């Protein structure tokens, strides 16, 4: 009873926080702050994961998302010197269009959710399956229910991405030779 | 008070409202931000809410398994990949065009 | 065509003999029209841009080869008398196949009149080509000129050898086009442009009638043809079928709504309209005098010897069909006789040497037409006479034009009153021109005498005394106006400085003159009636004194009057002109026909037909087109806003689409 009440309070409080961060993320005109608000949203999400019993995932969320991706984005902000300037307001038409589409999406999803019957299973039956060992076994299981193939594909994808990022971002054309030379000297 | 609160313990539908709202906010950002990095950030919001959906379904529909969490892991990995490529492209773009305003990136139209 | 002066006789020693014998030429008769066509293409595309001289040479050589083949064909064909000169189709190829029993072919028809015309066209065309090498020397459009001449020669030959009416119509239009090109040859001259437009529009207008006539004939030809079964000859469009008694018998029964008017009359009058347009019969004659704006060799080739006789040829080719309708024949005869008189009267008053010759051509064509009109299937003397006159006229009229061309070349002036005294300065031209003038005046023993005599005899004994009288009068008038220009041009003293310095034309121009002069003398002695006739071969009659004497008297009288008025004291002529006063002026202005046409076209047709049509076209037709264009453009402009080039707009549409798809799927599966 108490835990249920705590869950309720915690849920709605975090919900408010997450939505507030998310709204701030998309509305602020300073792109750097936007990245920070994103970090807030993601951290709140990690809290939700904990509430959902996915502690390992919450850890990964913090590590990869907050620690990796957001930092990468911050780098991008700095490299494009977007941090120093205020972003222009989008046009009124675009804001209206965006709002209508987003609201339409939200309404549709909510509508569909309410009208769908979920075969919900009581939470108490749940094994405390959120531990890393279960996930690890699942990822490396070569059986019918295992995910070893997607896992390998994801690893390949990440490798490709690393190469691709280097290829895209390196100096091109005539500048390429001098850039390579500078790298060797460094 | 506690009973009242306990009676409102969020079920699966209530939980699903959360990613729905976050996703909608992400879409709004995708459609309205002028800065390309801003769009990337909004996309991250949306992706994150999608990952959250899996976790919610995992918790309420198949609590005995971890498949949803594995999916979320994959999504995080894919999001990381996307951001890496996106950032590389934007940096390159900025080098060439000295702007990050997507409303001015309409070369395909001309 | 008598064996005496055939270019390729039967001396067996010649190595070419076995290649160029009659059998070979008959089998390959298609070569006669094909050679100028090939030469036209080669000269026009490849040689003309490189060398003017070579294009003239190649074009002339091609036509010369055609002429040689035509002469061999004629010699062999007319000598193989057994079977009575049957109509042969040595070569034909299916061209358009519409359905079973209905196809149009291209081919070569060899029968007496087509052989005759082939000889005339190729010979005159060759001589004109040769003459043009001298006449057009140094002209900027030298190569272009020969290209067009070749095209014209091909079209005319294609028309002549057409075994069916479709090929004839196609070549008929080709002839029109090439004459348009040649009349407008000096396209920098506004008058030449106006003349070529006039010629094209008038003949096109006439061809409209021809085309409707062809359609009527083709329609009934086909419907009777399918009924005829296997007994029918050839194809529905073939002349052999259209002129066959089996078809005519049925076709002459078809009635129109109007009592007393059969459809065959309507069809043949429409066909005759086309013929009258090409042959410049009244009232479609107005283009021919203006067509003299073209270079003089063109006038000689097209507007004297060949193209204008296409109308006569058409009537002759379809003569059995015309003969099946008495009314149609009466139209042919009446229009022909009237035109011959009308043109002769105008011809007496003109001052431009080429215009006089043009009106003389009109007059002579009228002669040929009424000769056809007065004959019937059974009494076909007029048919023979008409073809005979066509044959002789082609030579002496081409000679007249080429002679006039030589004079114009020397004097650089068309007005006869600025010439004079040229007899001594240009002896060869003078001699040949004199022969042609004697010939056209109908003086024995020149060619014109024989053919004219036969035409008048046909009119008299065919039971048309009025037409005979008209013909006699025209004979006198012809002699008068031809000798008028002869006296003014060649006798007396030079009336301007240029005429005083005139020199004889170069040899390349004189050779055709001499050849044509020789032909003008001897062509009358060809036993023509033995070669060209309809039905049974008529008995040879010789010269009919009852007609020859009055004809010759009329000619001599005309010459005498011309001599009296123009040979010595010019005052006599001006006194006569003063006496005639107003009527002279009317005649000199060609009875104001050009003005009437201008009035009708400008004031009536333009104001009441063309202007409303133009308004309709501009506002309703163009309006519809513009409306469609406007709709397309506007919808495009509206749709353009969907293509903003902005990824975010596309994204918005994308999400909206996804939502709709989601809702639809959900609706379907839940």
Two structure tokens written together for C508? 């390349």
Q: Which of A35, A93, A110 is nearest to A68 (CA)?
A: A35
Distance of CA B10 to the CA centre of its chain: 22
Residue A65 CB neighbour total at 10 angstroms: 26
Residue C65 CB neighbour total at 10 angstroms: 17
- Average the pLDDT over C577-597 and give the result: 71
What residues of chain B lie within 8 A of the CB of A143, using their CB?
A: none
Q: Would you say residue C8 has pLDDT above 50? A: no
Q: Which residue is closest to B46 within chain A, CA to CA?
A: A22
pLDDT value, residue C233: 57
What residues of chain C lie within 8 A of the CB of B102, using their CB?
A: 646-648
- As a whole number of angstroms, the distance between CA C314 and CA C240 comes to 14
What residues of chain A lie within 8 A of the CB of C649, using their CB?
A: 94, 97
pLDDT value, residue C384: 86
Confidence grade of residue C82 (pLDDT, cut at 50, 70, 90): low
Two structure tokens written together for C370? 């009424």
- As a whole number of angstroms, the distance between CA C451 and CA C391 comes to 9
- As a whole number of angstroms, the distance between CA B13 and CA A114 comes to 7
Q: Is the peptide bond before C445 cis (omega within 30 degrees of 0)?
A: yes
**C52, C189, C246, C308 from C196: Cα distances, Å:** 24, 11, 42, 15
What residues of chain B lie within 8 A of the CB of C653, using their CB?
A: none
Confidence grade of residue B27 (pLDDT, cut at 50, 70, 90): very high
Helices C165-183, C190-228: inter-axial angle, 10-degree rounding = 180
Two structure tokens written together for C229? 């079964």
Of the candidates B40, B66, B88, which has its C-beta nearest A135's C-beta? B66
What residues of chain A lie within 8 A of the CB of B12, using their CB?
A: 118, 120
**Residue B56 touches partner A, C-beta closer than 8 Å:** yes
- As a whole number of angstroms, the distance between CA C128 and CA C288 comes to 19
SS3 C349: coil
What residues of chain A lie within 8 A of the CB of B86, using their CB?
A: 76
Angle at A167 between CA A166 and CA A172, to 5 degrees: 115
Do the chains contact at A98 and B92, CB–CB below 8 Å? no
pLDDT value, residue C10: 44
Q: What is the 3-state secondary structure (H, E, C) of C437-464?
A: HHHHHCCCCCHHHHHHHHHHHHHHHCCC
C-alpha distance from B3 to closest chain C C-alpha (Å): 35
Bridge partners (DSSP) of residue C255 are: C262
Do the chains contact at A76 and B76, CB–CB below 8 Å? no
Two structure tokens written together for C375? 């004959």
Q: Is the peptide bond before C283 cis (omega within 30 degrees of 0)?
A: yes
Q: Which residue is closest to C670 within chain A, CA to CA?
A: A116
Instruction: Say if residues C170 and C207 touch (Cβ distance below 8 Å).
Output: no
**Residue C645 touches partner B, C-beta closer than 8 Å:** yes
Confidence grade of residue A42 (pLDDT, cut at 50, 70, 90): very high
What residues of chain A lie within 8 A of the CB of B92, using their CB?
A: 168-169
pLDDT value, residue B43: 92
- As a whole number of angstroms, the distance between CA C53 and CA B36 comes to 75
For the ranges C117-131, C371-385, C410-424, the maximum mean pLDDT occurs at: C117-131
- Average the pLDDT over A155-180 and give the result: 72
Of the candidates C648, C652, C659, which has its C-beta nearest A108's C-beta? C659
Angle at C563 between CA C561 and CA C564, to 5 degrees: 65
What residues of chain C lie within 8 A of the CB of B27, using their CB?
A: 655
**A87, B18, B26, C662 from B47: Cα distances, Å:** 23, 13, 9, 19
Residue B69 or residue C377, greater confidence = B69
Least confident of A175-179, C342-346, C475-479: A175-179
C-alpha distance from B47 to closest chain C C-alpha (Å): 15
Confidence grade of residue A181 (pLDDT, cut at 50, 70, 90): very low
For the CA atoms of A91, A94, A100, A103, what is the dihedral angle to 10 degrees? -80
What is the residue-wise DSSP string for C220-261? HHHHHHHHHGGGS-S-TTBHHHHTSHHHHHHHTT-B-SSTT-
Q: How many residues does chain B have?
A: 110
pLDDT value, residue A23: 93
- Average the pLDDT over C245-257 and give the result: 79
Confidence grade of residue A43 (pLDDT, cut at 50, 70, 90): very high
Residue B11 or residue C234, greater confidence = B11
Percent of chain B with pLDDT over 70: 96
**Helix, strand, coil % over all residues of chain C, rounded to 5:** 75, 5, 20
- As a whole number of angstroms, the distance between CA C179 and CA C298 comes to 8
**Residue B59 touches partner A, C-beta closer than 8 Å:** yes
Residue C244 CB neighbour total at 10 angstroms: 18
Tens-place pLDDT, residues C283-336: 888 888 888 888 888 888 877 677 888 888 888 888 888 888 888 888 888 888
Residue C500 or residue C224, greater confidence = C224
Do the chains contact at B70 and A54, CB–CB below 8 Å? no
Q: Which helix (H) or strand (E) holds C99?
A: strand C88-99
- As a whole number of angstroms, the distance between CA C299 and CA C147 comes to 16
What residues of chain A lie within 8 A of the CB of B16, using their CB?
A: 109, 113
- As a whole number of angstroms, the distance between CA B99 and CA B85 comes to 18
Residues 6+ apart with CB under 8 A from B17: A110, A113
ipTM of predicted assembly, 2 dp: 0.90
Q: What is the 3-state secondary structure (H, E, C) of C66-82?
A: HHHHHHHHHHHHHHCCC
Residue A159 CB neighbour total at 10 angstroms: 11
Q: Which residues of A touch C (CB under 8 A)?
A: 94, 97-98, 101, 104-105, 108, 112, 115-116
What residues of chain B lie within 8 A of the CB of C644, using their CB?
A: 106, 109
| B39, B106, B107, B108: best to mutate for the C interface, most C CBs within 10 A | B106
Confidence grade of residue B51 (pLDDT, cut at 50, 70, 90): very high
For C92, left (φ over 0), alpha (ψ -120 to 50), or beta?
beta
The owner of tokens 């070419």 is C16
Least confident of A67-76, B94-103, C183-192, C205-214: B94-103
Q: Would you say residue C3 has pLDDT above 90? A: no
- Average the pLDDT over C555-575 and give the result: 76
Least confident of A148-162, C401-415, C583-597: C583-597
- As a whole number of angstroms, the distance between CA C325 and CA C268 comes to 8
Instruction: Say if residues C129 and C63 touch (Cβ distance below 8 Å).
Output: yes
Q: Would you say residue C148 has pLDDT above 80? A: yes
Q: Would you say residue C217 has pLDDT above 90? A: no
Instruction: Say if residues C64 and C89 touch (Cβ distance below 8 Å).
Output: no
pLDDT value, residue A183: 35
| Averaged confidence pLDDT in chain A | 82
Q: Would you say residue C570 has pLDDT above 70? A: no
Please, which residues 4-43 of chain B have a Cβ atom closer than 8 Å to chain C? 27, 30-32, 39
Please, which residues 47-76 of chain A have a Cβ atom closer than 8 Å to chain B? 48-49, 52-54, 56-57, 60-61, 64-65, 68-69, 72-73, 75-76
C-alpha distance from A89 to closest chain C C-alpha (Å): 14
| Averaged confidence pLDDT in chain C | 82
Of the candidates C645, C648, C655, which has its C-beta nearest B109's C-beta? C645
Do the chains contact at A101 and B83, CB–CB below 8 Å? no
pLDDT value, residue A14: 93
Alpha helices in C491-581 (DSSP H): 497-500, 507-522, 545-562, 571-580
Do the chains contact at B108 and C652, CB–CB below 8 Å? no
């Amino acid at each position: 009873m108490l835990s249920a009440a705590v869950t309720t309070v915690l849920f709605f409080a975090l919900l408010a926080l997450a939505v507030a961060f998310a709204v701030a993320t998309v509305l602020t005109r300073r792109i750097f702050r936007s990245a920070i608000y994103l970090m807030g949203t993601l951290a709140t999400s990690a809290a939700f994961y904990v509430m959902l019993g996915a502690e390992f995932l919450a850890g990964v969320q913090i590590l990869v998302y907050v620690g990796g991706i957001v930092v990468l984005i911050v780098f991008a902000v700095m490299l494009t010197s977007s941090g120093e300037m205020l972003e222009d307001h989008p046009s009124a038409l675009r804001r209206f269009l965006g709002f209508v589409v987003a609201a339409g999406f939200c309404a549709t999803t909510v509508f569909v959710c309410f009208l769908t019957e979920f075969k919900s299973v009581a939470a108490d039956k749940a094994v405390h399956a959120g531990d890393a060992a279960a996930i690890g076994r699942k990822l490396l299981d070569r059986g019918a229910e295992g995910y070893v193939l997607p896992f390998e594909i994801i690893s390949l994808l990440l490798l490709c991405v690393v190469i691709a990022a280097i290829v895209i971002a390196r100096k091109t054309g005539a500048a390429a030779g001098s850039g390579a030379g500078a790298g060797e000297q460094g | 008070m506690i009973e009242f609160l306990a009676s409102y313990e969020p079920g699966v539908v209530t939980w699903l409202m959360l990613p729905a709202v976050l996703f909608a906010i992400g879409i709004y950002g995708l459609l309205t931000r002028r800065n390309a990095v801003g769009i990337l950030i909004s996309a991250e919001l949306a992706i994150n809410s999608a990952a959250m959906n899996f976790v919610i379904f995992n918790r309420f529909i198949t609590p005995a398994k971890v498949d949803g969490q594995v999916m979320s892991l994959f999504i995080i990995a894919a999001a990381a990949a996307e951001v890496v490529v996106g950032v590389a492209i934007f940096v390159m773009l900025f080098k060439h065009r000295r702007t990050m305003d997507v409303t001015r990136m309409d070369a395909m139209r001309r | 065509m008598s064996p005496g002066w055939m270019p390729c006789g039967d001396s067996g020693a010649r190595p070419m003999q076995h290649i160029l014998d009659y059998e070979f030429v008959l089998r390959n008769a298609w070569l006669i029209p094909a050679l100028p066509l090939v030469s036209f293409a080669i000269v026009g595309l490849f040689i003309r841009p490189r060398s003017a001289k070579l294009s003239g040479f190649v074009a002339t050589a091609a036509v010369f080869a055609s002429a040689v083949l035509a002469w061999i064909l004629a010699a062999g064909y007319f000598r193989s008398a057994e079977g009575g000169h049957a109509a042969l189709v040595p070569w034909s190829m299916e061209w358009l196949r519409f359905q079973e029993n209905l196809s149009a072919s291209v081919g070569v028809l060899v029968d007496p009149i087509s052989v005759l015309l082939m000889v005339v066209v190729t010979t005159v065309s060759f001589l004109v080509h040769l003459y043009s090498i001298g006449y057009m020397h140094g002209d900027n459009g030298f190569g272009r000129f020969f290209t067009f001449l070749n095209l014209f020669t091909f079209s005319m030959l294609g028309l002549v050898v057409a075994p069916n009416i479709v090929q004839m119509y196609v070549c008929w239009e080709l002839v029109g086009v090439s004459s348009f090109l040649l009349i407008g040859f000096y396209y920098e001259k506004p008058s030449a442009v106006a003349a070529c437009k006039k010629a094209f529009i008038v003949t096109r207008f006439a061809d409209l009638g021809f085309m409707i006539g062809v359609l009527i004939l083709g329609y009934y030809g086909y419907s009777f043809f399918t009924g005829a079964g296997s007994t029918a000859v050839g194809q529905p469009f073939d002349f052999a079928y259209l002129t066959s008694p089996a078809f005519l018998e049925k076709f002459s029964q078809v009635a129109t709504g109007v009592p007393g008017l059969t459809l065959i009359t309507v069809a043949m009058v429409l066909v005759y309209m086309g013929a009258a347009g090409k042959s410049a019969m009244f009232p479609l004659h107005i283009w021919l005098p203006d067509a003299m704006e073209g270079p003089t060799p063109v006038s000689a080739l097209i507007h004297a010897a060949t193209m204008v006789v296409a109308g006569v040829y058409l009537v002759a080719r379809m003569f059995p069909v015309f003969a099946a309708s008495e009314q149609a024949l009466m139209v042919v005869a009446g229009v022909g006789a009237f035109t011959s008189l009308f043109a002769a009267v105008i011809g007496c008053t003109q001052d431009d040497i080429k215009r006089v010759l043009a009106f003389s051509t009109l007059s002579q064509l009228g002669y040929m037409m009424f000769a056809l009109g007065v004959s019937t299937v059974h009494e076909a003397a007029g048919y023979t006479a008409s073809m005979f006159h066509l044959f002789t006229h082609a030579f002496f009229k081409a000679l007249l034009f080429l002679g006039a061309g030589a004079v114009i070349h020397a004097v650089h002036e068309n007005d006869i009153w600025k010439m004079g005294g040229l007899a001594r300065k240009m002896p060869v031209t003078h001699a040949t021109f004199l022969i042609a003038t004697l010939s056209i005046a109908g003086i024995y023993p020149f060619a014109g005498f024989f053919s004219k005599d036969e035409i008048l005899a046909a009119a008299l004994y065919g039971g048309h005394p009025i037409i005979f009288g008209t013909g006699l009068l025209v004979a006198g008038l012809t002699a008068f106006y031809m000798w008028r220009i002869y006296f003014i041009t060649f006798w007396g003293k030079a009336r301007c400085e240029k005429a005083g310095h005139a020199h004889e034309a170069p040899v390349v121009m004189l050779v055709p003159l001499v050849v044509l002069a020789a032909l003008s003398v001897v062509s009358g002695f060809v036993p023509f009636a033995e070669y060209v006739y309809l039905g049974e071969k008529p008995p040879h009659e010789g010269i009919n004194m009852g007609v020859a004497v009055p004809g010759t008297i009329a000619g001599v009288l005309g010459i005498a009057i011309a001599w009296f008025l123009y040979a010595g004291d010019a005052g006599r002529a001006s006194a006569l002109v003063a006496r005639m006063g107003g009527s002279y002026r009317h005649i000199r202005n060609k009875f104001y026909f050009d003005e009437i046409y201008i009035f009708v076209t400008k004031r009536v047709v333009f104001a009441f037909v063309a202007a409303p049509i133009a308004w309709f076209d501009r506002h309703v037709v163009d309006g519809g087109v513009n409306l469609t264009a406007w709709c397309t453009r506007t919808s495009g402009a509206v749709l353009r806003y969907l293509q903003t080039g902005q990824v975010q707009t596309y994204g918005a549409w994308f999400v909206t689409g996804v939502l709709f798809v989601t809702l639809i799927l959900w609706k379907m599966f839940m």
